[in-house]
Structure 1
Amino acid sequence: MKAEIIAVGTELLLGQIVNSNAQFLSVELAALGIDVYFQTVVGDNLNRLQQAIEIAQSRADVILFTGGIGPTEDDLTKDGLAAALGRNLHIDTPAMEHVQRFFDERKIFMTENNRKQALMVDGTTPLPNEVGLAVGLAHAHEGKFYIVLPGPPREMKPMFTDKAKPWLLQHALTHEMPIYSRMLKFAGIGESLLEDKLIDLIRNQTDPTIAPYAKEGEVTVRISTKAPSEQEAAEKLNALEEQIREILPEHMYANIDIPLEKLLVDRMVNASLTLSAAESCTGGLLMETLTSIPGSSSMFLGGIVCYSNEMKMKLLNVPEALLEGKDAPGAVSREVAEVLAEQARLIADSDFGLSVTGVAGPGSSERKPVGLVYIGIAERGQETEVFELNLRGTRDNIRLRTVKALLYRLWRRLEQR
């Protein structure tokens, strides 16, 4: 069964609002076994909306609308659908009572245009709005299934979950198998290399399917299958996951949709391990990433942003001979990264000390190129490790990729314990 999502609102076309509704609905529909083939955004114009509906009717079985059902003149979604179905509009009595009660309880005068939020297309099923005022609707007609939802996500999401989804299950999905998906998470590898490693599986995929997604410093692979039961789906997904894990054992860190920093914080908290850090070119981004995770206070003891050589010497006891002078390796060096990691650990008396020093750009430093970064990991009772990174991208890209690379190396260190 194919679906199309039509988001209505000129503000979406102008970029004033991000269409997060389409993302939410695509995920929800996929879980129901409905394939979203198209997402359309149309402005507050009745003619263009009718054209969008006609196109959707020609290529989709399920058509979902979000937005355009409020009280103003440019809220036209129900008008457009009524015209497409050859129906009239009427005021739904329970919905109108809901709107009137809202204003009465707050002792606010209700303007006439608010009655528009109780409009229904003749012959359709109301979807009550438990959060806002505008009533939604559902309707089956000539083999097509229509769902109209509010635009604000805080209203749209509960209406879909509590009202529209049960309606779809009852009226549209009597023979559809649901889609089951699993998110495999990878670090320390780029999307192109990961795809190259999995190319045989990708080219020969039938069921389950494989789809890689990348963002800065991480790659996610979604594996999906249709099955009549969760148990049958799990058997198929488990087999494919094991194949992928065997190919990339040093990079796959989770089989649920979880960021690497969350996994690390949880693991260190559970193992009663502590961490401290010294950052130069990332300027505190590593510490911010870790402390954004609830519960990180149990494992992260603190850190120092040591941008200047003076701060490196005064607060972290980096020898001046390493930083300055004709034969000094300089602040951006393997030697300094090692000292920073060890001193961060010693000062905090933590189990692990992490360090970053490098050139994030846009200009070079110490005659060293943009993107040259050294990251260090010191561990109580173990030899300190330092890794050289040669990164490309903007200043922000380099800083973020550095943090992700360091978290990956920490994960690998914990895996080897």
Structure 2
Amino acid sequence: MAEHVEQAHPITRACTWIDEALSLASTVDPGGLSGQAHRDALLHLTSLGDRLESLRMRVIHAAGRPGGVAEDDGARSPASWLAARTRSGFGPARAAEKLAEAVANRWRLVGAGLEAGRVNVPQARVIVKVLDALVVDPVPGEEVSPEVLALAEAHLVEQAGVFDPGQLERLGAKILEVVAPETADEHERRVLERAERRAQAATRLTFRRRGDGATDVVARVPDHVAARLKTYLEAWTSPRQDASAEAGAATPFGGFAQRDPATGVRLPQERLRGQAFCAFLEAADPTRMPVHGGGATRVVVTIGLAELRSELGLGTIISNGESVTSITAAEARRLACQAGIIPAVLGSDSVPMDLGRSSRFFTPGQRLAKSLTHLVCAAEGCSVPSTWCDGHHGRDPWGAGGGSDLADLTFLCPWHHQRAHDNGYTTKTLPNGDVRFTRRT
């Protein structure tokens, strides 16, 4: 057996030795390593893993040559051949095939760095991505020269000994400023213009009703639009640390509770952003919306008078003449506080008997006047600024005929406004004007 191995191809021999070495170590407890030996083993195994992956990629690349394994076995590519036989999925195999092709045909310094252990696989992927971006769809006559590309590759491979993949990617974004500063600004301008055109062409927004009361909204938008939206939503979700938060209490969290009030479980950031997006839409100024079909863009909530007063039954949201969805009476009462959402109260014969008008809602002047003396949300202990709050009919509910005078205006952040219309809570106005919420038992 040993003689057969000695006569085999070096890669076959390496596979045999690696297999034997792994079998030797498989039954040994790593806890028996001394402190320094444990450190050395972690670093050495990590480096060996990257070098082994480099060898595997070279073999994958060879499998795709004319007359190679993929062609012999009728496979479309080495990745599909490998995925079918290893059950590891096509995606990882294809990623390895693409990186193998890049370091074999275009970026050989990166490949040499992988083989020598000076570059790890995550770093190699980043470097290849950066370098490929310099040569993809160049403007005719303004291509990055081979000399500059060689300098960029050498510099990034050298910096792999200092920086992790994330840092390398940030360095790569400005690589021309390092290796060719005289052309960097013009090249970056062309790249950004091309990226902006592609982002505009790729912009999409889709809605898919799940059938469980929720809708999946999937968007692809330009980076600057996403950054702007993220900034707006973080105005509602950025944490506000205080003593009660340190104690683990349910505290205001940019307008939303840090923990679920029912379970005490900390809410994930994704849910907080979703709630913030809902609040953001409700806070949008309807007077700035474009005219739709000859009239201002509007949302109407229809509900029977008896259902509205009893908080039992359902309401219907109608947007631009189309019935959109049903909501509870409690939610209709909450939405009625919001300017631009028109409540249509129906009598017993389903004929509209009252259409709320914009003048019935709190005006910007009223909000400004109130904010001079009420700087934050009226909920006890909440510190969300009044400029982020909804206008709530605090004295008499709209459904009970309450007015929209300045004295009726109460600032509540989106989180506490939900509580004000939640039958699971009672509200009490304290002598100082604060509102206290208590869960019903």
TM-score (normalizing by structure 1): 0.25
Please identify which structure carries the higher strand content: 1
Please identify which structure carries the higher helix content: 2
TM-score (normalizing by structure 2): 0.24
Asked which structure has the greater CA Rg, the reply is 2
Higher relative contact order (CA 8 A, sep 6+): 1
